[in-house]
Amino acid sequence: QYYTSKTIDSQMSILHMNGGVGETSYATNSLLTREVISEVKPILEESIIELYSTISPECLKIADLGCSSGPNP
């Protein structure tokens, strides 16, 4: 499938997040997220290793959707 600049612009507007600092920022409100990630990380790492040793994919794509503050458009 080929992507045009219009398609990419459309996707960017959908995936766009608002930045922020202060009380509503992700950095200030991410303690629960950090705790969950620390619990899940070993399971995720083990799953990735198992995936590679089982089916040997040529490529593994991971999307980092980042963080935001406040309402997003």
Residues 4-16 pLDDT 10s? 666 666 666 665 5
Number of domains in the chain: 1
What is the predicted pLDDT for the residue at 42?
94
Instruction: Give the Cα separation of 8 and 3 in Å (integer).
Output: 7
Is residue 48 situated within a structural domain?
yes
Residues 16-52 pLDDT 10s? 556 667 776 766 767 787 888 899 999 989 998 998 8
The more confidently predicted of residues 53 and 4 is: 53
Is residue 58 situated within a structural domain?
no
Is residue 42 situated within a structural domain?
yes
Containing 69, the helix (H) or strand (E) segment is: none
Is 62's pLDDT higher than 70?
Answer: yes
Q: What tokens does 55 get?
A: 């089916």
User: Interior CA angle at 62 toward 35 and 58, to 5°?
Assistant: 135
What is the predicted pLDDT for the residue at 1?
52
Which residue range(s) make up the domain with 44? 23-53
